[in-house]
């Protein structure tokens, strides 16, 4: 990619128990010899570390929360766009997608190219429609039910819902609950954060496997990378994992992508029992936080997405490499109160790449 | 207790599951499909090497009888136990 382009990436949060994917996406691009552009990190909190990491981002800005409304978001993006001249915009958080997919014409009018699903495609992979999609793709999935009242937990056993099971947000968050009290507390917390309905899902025992890829919007799944979680954080997020190659998982995921002609990045989460039977847990409409493994196995998916967005030829994907591991670690970055002030009071700032200081 | 009945049905995982395993000289084994890894001792390593060529029980018992100073009955019992552990790791 010879042209110098500017890419904006969201999800610059990186709390160790539940990091956003943005920094890993930025790292995939920054370290690629085929990328020679600028990266603009976008976050929602002044303490998102990606807003201060010059090795990955050339500038960092704060966006208003999705709940602030379209006007606030578009206004902020317009201000950033006037300064940074962004070519491609890669959102990385689940909660952003419904708004951004709907606002795609406004984003494109601003000059921000996106490679996102349509609102209909996004709706089809909603967590409350998982079973429908899984059936279509020929993969098992645990029983899932939408609820709008915590009263469900007081009579759930009569309806065949024995504890433990999982309480999930429509966009994000999940908690295994073991009692009515625990379920009620989880319901209230998740509803407050993510709104209604709240989902309950039967608990599947097994090992968790994930696949990430990019859908080209024409039914094809590109550059699949599969991973088995080897260690997880207290929130169930991968802390270590290993690349694998399982045709069953690949075929099921390819069928899911084909069923909805998915356009954009995605992550398929499944549980696998000891007999090798997969149960579809969810489909996330974005890259996962472990996406750096894709660069590690020679399938740089953020770079592929960029090429698709720009209508350029895809980079070559290496043959599947199994046995490549990632082990995540937490690290501090040192910044100054002046930098923090810029982010908090001016909404963002430019960053200097470390090598430029040498 | 081991019996001829145990040996009549093949106790090992399918040959295709065994052939996909990456086995190092140190006895570290990686299954690229399931992502599992495990370690085997020297005896386990030699059995796995044989199994990657053929999962017939008889040649394996015969080879182990030649290599180790143990009764056929003991070897059969250990092989059955090893096969059961292998099925857990690489699937059946």
> ipTM value of the model?
0.82
Q: Do A246 and B33 touch (CB under 8 A)?
A: yes
Confidence of residue A171 (pLDDT cuts 50, 70, 90): confident
Decide if pLDDT at B5 tops 60.
Answer: no
Average pLDDT, chain B: 87
DSSP state of B30: E
Span A282-311, pLDDT tens digits: 999 999 999 999 999 999 999 999 999 999
Report the share of chain A in percent with pLDDT over 70.
Answer: 98
Name the residue with higher pLDDT: B1 or A140: A140
Decide if pLDDT at A253 tops 80.
Answer: yes
Which residue of A210, A274, A321 is the best one to mutate when testing the B interface, meaning the one whose CB has the most B CBs within 10 A?
A: A274
B23: enclosing H helix or E strand = strand B22-23
User: Scanning every residue of chain A, which has its alpha carbon at the shortest distance from the alpha carbon of B91?
Assistant: A275
Q: Do A242 and B88 touch (CB under 8 A)?
A: no
User: Scanning every residue of chain A, which has its alpha carbon at the shortest distance from the alpha carbon of B34?
Assistant: A244
Q: What is the pLDDT of residue A347?
A: 96
**Domain of B30, in residue numbers:** 4-90
Between 3.30.1490, 1.10.3470, 3.40.50, 2.60.40, what CATH number should domain A143-201 receive? 3.30.1490
Q: Tell the CATH topology of A6-114+331-357.
A: Rossmann fold (3.40.50)
Residue B88: list chain A partners with CB under 8 A: 274
Domain residues of chain A, as ranges?
A: 6-114+331-357, 121-126+205-327, 143-201
Confidence of residue A274 (pLDDT cuts 50, 70, 90): low
Q: What is the pLDDT of residue A349?
A: 97
Backbone φ and ψ for A278, nearest 5 degrees, come out as -95, 140
Decide if A231 contacts A240 (C-beta within 8 A).
yes
Q: What is the pLDDT of residue A24?
A: 98
Q: Report the domain count for chain B.
A: 1
DSSP state of B26: T
Decide if pLDDT at A356 tops 70.
Answer: no
Q: What is the pLDDT of residue B2?
A: 43
Class at the top of the CATH hierarchy for domain A121-126+205-327 = alpha beta
A245 closest CB neighbour out of B33, B36, B37: B33
Which residue of B35, B86, B92 is the best one to mutate when testing the A interface, meaning the one whose CB has the most A CBs within 10 A?
A: B35
Backbone φ and ψ for A222, nearest 5 degrees, come out as -110, 135
The predicted model gives A72-96 an average pLDDT of 96
Q: What is the pLDDT of residue A318?
A: 87
- Greatest mean pLDDT among A75-89, A171-185, B37-51: A75-89
Q: Do A323 and B30 touch (CB under 8 A)?
A: yes
Q: Do B34 and A228 touch (CB under 8 A)?
A: yes
Least confident of A80-84, A218-222, B52-56: B52-56
B22: enclosing H helix or E strand = strand B22-23
Looking at the complex, report in whole angstroms how far the Cα of residue A21 sits from the nearest Cα belonging to chain B: 23
Q: What is the pLDDT of residue A358?
A: 44
Name the residue with higher pLDDT: B22 or B2: B22
The predicted model gives A68-82 an average pLDDT of 96
Q: Which residues contact A185 (CB under 8 A, 6 or more apart)?
A: none
Q: What is the pLDDT of residue A324?
A: 97
Q: What is the pLDDT of residue B3?
A: 46
Euclidean distance between CA atoms B24 and A355, whole angstroms: 40
Q: What is the pLDDT of residue A257?
A: 95
Looking at the complex, report in whole angstroms how far the Cα of residue A208 sits from the nearest Cα belonging to chain B: 10
Which pair of tokens denotes residue A163?
A: 């504890």
Residues in chain B: 92
Decide if A63 contacts A284 (C-beta within 8 A).
no
Which residue of A225, A231, A242 is the best one to mutate when testing the B interface, meaning the one whose CB has the most B CBs within 10 A?
A: A242
**SS3 for chain A, per residue?**
CCCCCEEEECCCCCCCCCCCCHHHHHHHHHCCCCCCCEEEEEECCCCCHHHHCCCCCCEEEECCCHHHCHHHHHHHHHHHHHHHCCCEEECCCHHHHHHHHHCHHHHHHCCCECCCCCHHHHHHCCHHHHHHHHHHHCCECCCEEEECCCCHHHHHHHHCCCCCEEEECCCCCEEEECCHHHHHHHHHHHHHHHCCCEEEEECCCCEEEEEEEEEECCCCEEEEEEEEEEEECCCCCEEEEEEECCHHHHHHHHHHHHHHCCEEEEEEEEEECCCCCEEEEEEECCCCCCCHHHHHCCCCHHHHHHHHHCCCCCCCCCCCCCCCEEECCCCCCCCCHHHHHHHHHHCEEECCCHHHHC
């Amino acid at each position: 990619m010879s042209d110098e382009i500017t890419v904006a990436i969201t999800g610059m949060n990186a709390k160790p128990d539940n990091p956003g994917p943005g920094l890993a996406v930025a790292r995939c691009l920054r370290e690629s010899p085929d990328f020679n552009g600028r990266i603009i990190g976008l976050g929602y909190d002044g303490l998102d570390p990606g807003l201060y990491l010059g090795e990955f981002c050339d500038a960092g800005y704060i966006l208003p929360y999705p709940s602030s409304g379209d006007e606030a978001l578009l206004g902020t993006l317009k201000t950033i766009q006037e300064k940074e001249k962004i070519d491609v915009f890669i959102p990385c958080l689940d909660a952003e997608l419904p708004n951004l997919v709907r606002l795609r014409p406004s984003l494109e009018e601003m000059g921000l190219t996106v490679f996102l699903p349509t609102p209909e495609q996004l709706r089809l992979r909603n967590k409350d429609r998982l079973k429908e999609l899984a059936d279509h793709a020929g993969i098992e999935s645990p029983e899932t039910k939408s609820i709008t009242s915590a009263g469900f937990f007081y009579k759930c056993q009569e309806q065949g819902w024995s504890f433990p099971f999982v309480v999930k947000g429509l966009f994000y968050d999940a908690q295994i609950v073991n009692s009515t009290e625990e379920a009620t507390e989880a319901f209230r917390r998740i509803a407050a954060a993510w709104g209604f309905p709240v989902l309950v899902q039967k608990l599947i025992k097994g090992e968790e496997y994930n696949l990430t890829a990019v859908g080209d919007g024409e039914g094809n799944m590109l550059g699949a990378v599969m991973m088995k979680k080897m260690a997880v954080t207290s929130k169930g997020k991968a802390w270590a994992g290993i690349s694998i190659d399982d045709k069953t998982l690949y075929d099921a995921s390819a069928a899911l992508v084909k069923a909805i002609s998915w356009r954009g990045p995605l992550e398929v989460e499944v549980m696998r029992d000891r007999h090798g039977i997969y149960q579809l847990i969810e489909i996330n409409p974005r890259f996962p936080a472990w996406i750096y493994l894709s660069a590690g196995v020679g399938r740089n998916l953020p770079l592929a997405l960029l090429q698709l967005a720009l209508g350029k030829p895809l980079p070559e994907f290496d043959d599947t490499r199994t046995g490549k591991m990632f082990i995540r670690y937490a690290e501090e970055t040192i910044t100054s109160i002046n930098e923090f002030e810029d982010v908090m009071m001016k909404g963002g700032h430019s960053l200097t790449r470390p090598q430029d200081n040498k | 207790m081991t019996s001829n009945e145990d040996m009549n049905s093949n106790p090992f995982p399918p040959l295709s599951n065994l052939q996909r395993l990456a086995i190092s000289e140190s006895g570290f084994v990686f299954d690229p499909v399931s992502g599992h890894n495990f370690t085997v001792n020297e005896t386990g390593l030699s059995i796995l090497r044989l199994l990657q060529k053929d999962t017939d029980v008889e040649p394996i018992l015969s080879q182990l009888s030649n290599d180790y100073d143990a009764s056929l009955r003991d070897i059969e019992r250990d092989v059955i136990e090893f096969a059961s552990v292998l099925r857990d790791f690489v699937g059946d």
